[in-house]
């Protein structure tokens, strides 16, 4: 059975780009989450609302496969 190498290479390149986007999103989410927790501890407990907002956003992105941060990263040129 013959495999079209161009299709395989295109798929591999696309999956690497998707993987980089997801790793970047996870990294940003982790950093912002930790910052919001530090702000809640040292500045005001009201920062926990921001932490909750992030959690709700992560849940909605699991169902809709859309994340606002992904849109921002794409605007800055990340594929």
Average pLDDT over residues 15-20: 81
- Structure confidence by residue, pLDDT tens digits, 20-61: 888 999 999 999 999 999 999 999 999 999 999 999 999 999
User: 26 is written with which tokens?
Assistant: 């996870």
pTM: 0.71
On whether the CB atoms of residues 22 and 67 are closer than 8 A, the answer is no
On whether the CB atoms of residues 61 and 3 are closer than 8 A, the answer is no
Distance separating alpha carbons of residues 26 and 6, to the nearest angstrom: 30
- pLDDT confidence of residue 40: 97
């Amino acid at each position: 059975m013959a495999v079209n190498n161009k299709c395989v290479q295109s798929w591999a390149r696309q999956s690497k780009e998707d993987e980089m986007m997801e790793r970047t999103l996870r990294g940003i989410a982790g950093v912002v989450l930790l910052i919001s927790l530090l702000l809640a501890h040292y500045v005001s407990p009201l920062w926990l609302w921001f932490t909750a907002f992030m959690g709700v956003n992560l849940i909605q992105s699991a169902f809709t496969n859309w994340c606002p941060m992904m849109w921002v990263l794409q605007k800055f040129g990340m594929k």
